[in-house]
Amino acid sequence: MSSDFRQARYSEPLLIEKGKPGRVGTSLPPWDEIRDITELLPDDMIRDPVNLPEISEPELVRHYVKLSQMNYGTDSGIYPLGSCTMKYNPKINDKIASHPTLQRMHPLQPEDTVQGVLRMMYELQESLAEIGGMDACTLQPAAGAAGEFTGLLIARKYHELRGDMTRDEVIVPDSAHGTNPASSVMAGFKVVEIRSAPDGTVDLEALGEALSERTAVFMITNPSTLGIFEKNIRGIQKACHEAGALLYYDGANLNALMGKARPGDMGFDIMHFNLHKTFSTPHGGGGPGAGPVAVTEKLAGLLPVPVVVKDGNLFRLDYDRPDSIGKVKGFFGNTGVLIRAWAFIRMMGGAGLTRVSELAVLNASYIRKRIEDVYPVPFRTRDELTKHEFVASASFLKENGGSAKDVSKMLVDRGLHPPTNYFPLIVDEALMIEPTESETMEELDRFSDALLDIATATAEQFSSAPRNSSVARVDEVLAAKKLILNWNQLKEE
């Protein structure tokens, strides 16, 4: 049960606890005509200087280097956080996103000065539509949840334009990502949750009971959060469309299907893509990401403005779209993220993206095969297949005093990022494992070996983990009970 992993363990002070009066971390260009503040602002609007840190450049850099050493990313090792698709982020993508021309390009510049970037955006719109089997695409939403929200606004408007005003419900399976019901409510819908069938797929009977003239949208991800491909998708599609509802594809799990099957061909009307998942852009410790939305022809006119269009050899931003839902974010989306995804698609091509999905599924299935005799997979279909992720249960460890959380902390001690815990909610002590295509067979073996080893741990070993990380087990209950949310509140302690 030993590991040579040791994460850096610094008692790194907060920025405000460092430095000395008078130190600065950067220099400003000269300007001769600095005016007195009383000339610049009315008296009642003047403030005292903000109490920011006073540190030099070397202190600043060392501070963040130390913090980075107390952090774990996909550049550190396997990061099999289920449904988050933590794949490797190619370095060339970062390099082109920080191109000096792009970095200093203003969103209000005339179109003729930004043709190259518009070309990139146009190509990305087209590529995503092709990958999804859809007809039109917007790049505007900043994240997956923002994409869901956008798609649901489109659905709402679609029904309204048809005079179908009674549709105020969105149906989601009980295995859905939490964003699905939350986005539905923000878009003004009521949420109807349906149970999963015993094998984890959509229960057609439950769906049939839930569908009515009030149903606006059925939202699912395919493969589901259990990693199971919905074989009944034709039946689902038929039932939904016959009931007058639209079918929404949550693209969080698209990494399983590229070049194999397309949501558009399955009969979905609306989908979003998570560029920070499937298309390799960094997750940034929580963001930025991007959540483009693609739709079928009948919904194309409803996409947010502007859409990038091609007029002969010129690209332009089309705002003249009378049925558009308007805007969901400032300007055109997270351009710095979009260009990374564009680069990934350009470099991989269609065959490369297909291979991405094959290897993502292979890697996940490989781990499953290695551990499932010990960590059971409760929801299973007859073919015993799962796609790019699967959900195992750690509930058998309860008798040894262990839990999914404890397993995770013991993985931390081996320098392996844990899987998603306690989701989906329908699996007891869930471990949701998604290795992605980026991991070597050797790393998959190391991860599987660690899980098998941990299965024999004692209660004492479980509760004392982690020991090798920057800090020991963090008291999250205390964090919520006694709120300390900035350094002034910390100082008062």
Partner 1 sequence: MHYLPNDPVAEEMLGKMGLSSMEDLFADIPEDMRVKRLDLPPGISEVELVRTVDKMMKESRGAGDMPMFLGCGFYDHFIPSAVEYVMSRSELYTSYTPYQPEMSQGILQALFEYQSMMSDILKMDVVNTSMYDYHTAIGEAILMAKRMNHRNVFLLPEIMAREKFQVVENYIRGAGIETRTVPFKDGTMDLDALKGMLTGEVSGVYIENPNILGLFDKGAMEIRSIMESRQVLVVGVNPMTLSIAKPPGDYGADIVVGDVQPLGVPISYGGPTAGIFAVSMKNVRKMPGRIIGATKDAEGRRAFAMTLSTREQHIRRERATSNICTNEALTSIMASAYLASLGKGGFRELGLQLASRGRYLAGRIDELEGFRAPAFAGHFFNEFPVSVDVSVSGLLKECRNRGVLAGYDLSRETDLLEGTFTVATTEMHTNADYEKLLEVLVKSREVLL
Task: For residues 158 and 180, give the distance between their C-alpha atoms in angstroms, rounded to a whole number.
Answer: 19
Task: For residues 267 and 134, give the distance between their C-alpha atoms in angstroms, rounded to a whole number.
Answer: 10
Nearer to partner 1 by Cβ, of 36 and 242: the residue is 36
**Segment lying near partner 1 (by CB under 8 A), choices 4-12, 206-214, 391-399, 449-457:** 4-12
Structure tokens at 255: 């990494």
Nearer to partner 1 by Cβ, of 112 and 399: the residue is 112
Does residue 135 touch partner 1 according to CB under 8 A? no
Shortest approach of partner 1 to residue 460 CB, angstroms? 13
Shortest approach of partner 1 to residue 311 CB, angstroms? 15
**Segment lying near partner 1 (by CB under 8 A), choices 8-16, 207-215, 389-397, 450-458:** 8-16
Task: For residues 404 and 395, give the distance between their C-alpha atoms in angstroms, rounded to a whole number.
Answer: 7
Q: Looking at beta carbons, which pairs linking 349-358 to residues 24 or more positions away fall under 8 Å? A: 350/259, 351/259, 353/131, 353/258, 353/259, 354/258, 354/259, 354/260, 355/259, 355/437, 356/255, 356/258, 356/437, 357/255, 357/256, 357/257, 357/258, 357/259, 357/260, 357/388, 357/437, 358/260
- Interaction with partner 1 in 300-359: which residues (CB under 8 A)? 325-337, 343, 345-356, 358-359
- Interaction with partner 1 in 389-428: which residues (CB under 8 A)? 408-409, 412, 417-418, 420-421, 423
Task: For residues 309 and 320, give the distance between their C-alpha atoms in angstroms, rounded to a whole number.
Answer: 11
**Segment lying near partner 1 (by CB under 8 A), choices 74-82, 207-215, 239-247, 426-434:** 74-82
Site string for partner 1, 430-459 (x = CB under 8 A): -------xxxxx------------------
Task: For residues 200 and 223, give the distance between their C-alpha atoms in angstroms, rounded to a whole number.
Answer: 11
Name the residue with tokens 């009970």: 481
Indicate if the alpha-carbon torsion angle 34, 36, 37, 41 is positive or negative.
Answer: negative
**Segment lying near partner 1 (by CB under 8 A), choices 5-13, 208-216, 294-302, 446-454:** 5-13
Shortest approach of partner 1 to residue 212 CB, angstroms? 18
Nearer to partner 1 by Cβ, of 167 and 387: the residue is 387
Question: Residue 450 carries which side chain, given as an amino acid letter?
Answer: A
Nearer to partner 1 by Cβ, of 203 and 334: the residue is 334
Does residue 215 touch partner 1 according to CB under 8 A? no
Report whether 309 contacts 329 (CB < 8 A): no
Q: What b/e sequence results for 299-311 when a residue is b if at least 16 CB atoms lie within 10 Å of its CB, and e otherwise?
A: bbbbbbbbbbeee
DSSP one-letter code for 398: G
Phi, psi of 77 (to 5 degrees): 165, -165
Does residue 247 touch partner 1 according to CB under 8 A? no
Single residue of 65, 162, 199, 456 touching partner 1 by CB under 8 A: 65
Does residue 108 touch partner 1 according to CB under 8 A? yes
Does residue 52 touch partner 1 according to CB under 8 A? yes
Question: Which residues sit opposite 390 in a β-bridge?
Answer: 433
Strands 246-249 and 270-272: parallel
- Interaction with partner 1 in 195-214: which residues (CB under 8 A)? none
Shortest approach of partner 1 to residue 209 CB, angstroms? 19
DSSP one-letter code for 173: E
Shortest approach of partner 1 to residue 463 CB, angstroms? 9
Does residue 179 touch partner 1 according to CB under 8 A? yes
Does residue 483 touch partner 1 according to CB under 8 A? yes
Nearer to partner 1 by Cβ, of 31 and 399: the residue is 31
Single residue of 4, 39, 242, 399 touching partner 1 by CB under 8 A: 39
